[in-house]
Structure 1
Amino acid sequence: MCFFSIVFISACKKESQPLEKVYRFDKIIRIDGLNRAYTIHLPANYYESSDFSLIIALHGGGGNPRQFENTSRLSEKADAAGFIVVYPEGTGVFPTWNAGMCCGYAASQDINDVKFISLLIDQLVSAYKINPGKIYATGHSNGGMMSYRLACELSDKIAAIAPNGCTMVVSQLCSPKRAVPILHMHSVNDQHVPYKGGTGNGITGIDNPPLDSVLNVWSLLNNCSIPAQVAVDNSRYTLTEWLACDNETAIAYYLTKDGGHAWPGGLPGRDGADVPSTAIDANDLLWEFFKQYQLP
Structure 2
Amino acid sequence: MEVFGPVTMTFEERERTFYYSVPENLEQAVPVVFCFHGAGSSARHHMKITGFHKLSEEHQVITVFPDAVHFDPADRMTKQWNEGREKNTAFQQEVNDVGFVLDLIDWLKQRYPVDESRIYATGFSNGSAFSLRLGLECQDVFAGVGGVSGPLVKDLAKKFQWSKPMPMLFIMGTDDKLVPYDGHYDSTYMIDQLLSAEKTVKFFAKSWGDGGTHHHERVMENEEYAIVKNAYPQEEEKVVFYSIEGGGHTWPGGPLSQASSLTGKVAGQLDATKILFEHLITFQR
Q: In the alignment, is residue 285 of structure 1 matched against residue 263 of structure 2?
A: no
Structure 1 Cα separation of the partners of residues 247 and 269 of structure 2: 8
**Offset of 1:271 from its aligned partner?**
7.9
Decide which moves more: 274-283 or 52-61: 274-283
Number of aligned residues: 269
Determine helix, strand or coil for the equivalent of 1:87: strand
Decide which moves more: 94-103 or 119-128: 94-103
1:224–1:250 Cα contact (<8 Å) kept: no
- Matching of residues 1-296 of structure 1 within 5 Å: 22-43=2-23, 46-92=24-70, 93=72, 94=76, 95-101=79-85, 104-169=88-153, 171-172=155-156, 173-199=159-185, 201-204=188-191, 206-225=192-211, 227-235=213-221, 236-243=226-233, 250-267=238-255, 272=260, 273-290=263-280, 291-293=282-284
TM-score by length of 2: 0.85
Greater gyration radius: 1
2:29–2:113 Cα contact (<8 Å) kept: yes
**Offset of 1:108 from its aligned partner?**
1.6
Q: In 2 relative to 1, CA 150–117 (structure 1 residues): closer, same or farther, beyond 3 Å?
A: same
Q: Deviations over 1:208-236 (max 9, x none)?
A: 32122222222223312552341345423
The CA RMSD over aligned residues, in Å, is 2.4
**Offset of 1:170 from its aligned partner?**
5.2
Q: In 2 relative to 1, CA 24–66 (structure 1 residues): closer, same or farther, beyond 3 Å?
A: same
2:215–2:234 Cα contact (<8 Å) kept: no
Structure 2 Cα separation of the partners of residues 171 and 31 of structure 1: 26
Structure 2 Cα separation of the partners of residues 103 and 115 of structure 1: 20
Structure 1 Cα separation of the partners of residues 121 and 251 of structure 2: 15
2:175–2:264 Cα contact (<8 Å) kept: no
**Offset of 1:187 from its aligned partner?**
1.2
Decide which moves more: 108-117 or 48-57: 48-57
Q: In 2 relative to 1, CA 103–144 (structure 1 residues): closer, same or farther, beyond 3 Å?
A: farther
TM-score by length of 1: 0.82
Determine helix, strand or coil for the equivalent of 1:215: helix
Structure 1 Cα separation of the partners of residues 198 and 26 of structure 2: 44
Q: Deviations over 1:155-184 (max 9, x none)?
A: 111100111111100534123432111100
| Residue identity in the other structure for 2:10 | R
Q: In 2 relative to 1, CA 202–91 (structure 1 residues): closer, same or farther, beyond 3 Å?
A: farther
Gaps of 5+ in 2: none
| Residue identity in the other structure for 1:238 | V
Q: In 2 relative to 1, CA 103–122 (structure 1 residues): closer, same or farther, beyond 3 Å?
A: farther
1:259–1:278 Cα contact (<8 Å) kept: no
Structure 2 Cα separation of the partners of residues 103 and 267 of structure 1: 30
Determine helix, strand or coil for the equivalent of 1:114: helix
**Offset of 1:275 from its aligned partner?**
3.9
**Offset of 1:269 from its aligned partner?**
7.3
Gaps of 5+ in 1: 1-20
**Offset of 1:258 from its aligned partner?**
4.6
Structure 2 Cα separation of the partners of residues 266 and 120 of structure 1: 27
| Residue identity in the other structure for 2:227 | Y
